[in-house]
Amino acid sequence: MSREDTIRLTVKSLLEVVQTGAKNIEIAVMAPGESMEMLGTEEIEKYVESINTEKAEEAATRRPGRTTPGTGTAAILTRERGRDDEPGRGETEDGLEDTIRAGE
């Protein structure tokens, strides 16, 4: 794995647990025979922006019709009232109707 790939994976992993982005991330790079190098906030911010852009592009290319949980609408199963003449239809004890309505 290259130096860039390693730093990118490190930043991506840290972003899973750090909420404010590069402001609270410090990264030290160590390599055999070299002194330790601390990455600057500006360099870390570039990785953060790149990763966030990649996540946004991935979200845009997901299958159409899929939404983030909790943001979509749901179908509600109900039973029509007063339709006792058809089998399997009509009012029940709880008053639900036997039709499916799409979220509005």
* 7 close to 27: Cβ distance less than 8 angstroms: yes
Indicate the pTM of the whole model: 0.55
What pLDDT is recorded for position 22?
A: 76
* Paired residues of 37 in beta bridges: 29
pLDDT at 86 over 60: no
pLDDT tens per residue, range 4-34? 999 999 999 999 888 777 788 999 999 999 9
- 28-34: which pairs have CB atoms within 8 A and are 24 or more residues apart? 29/3, 31/3
Tell me the domain boundaries of the chain: 3-61, 73-104
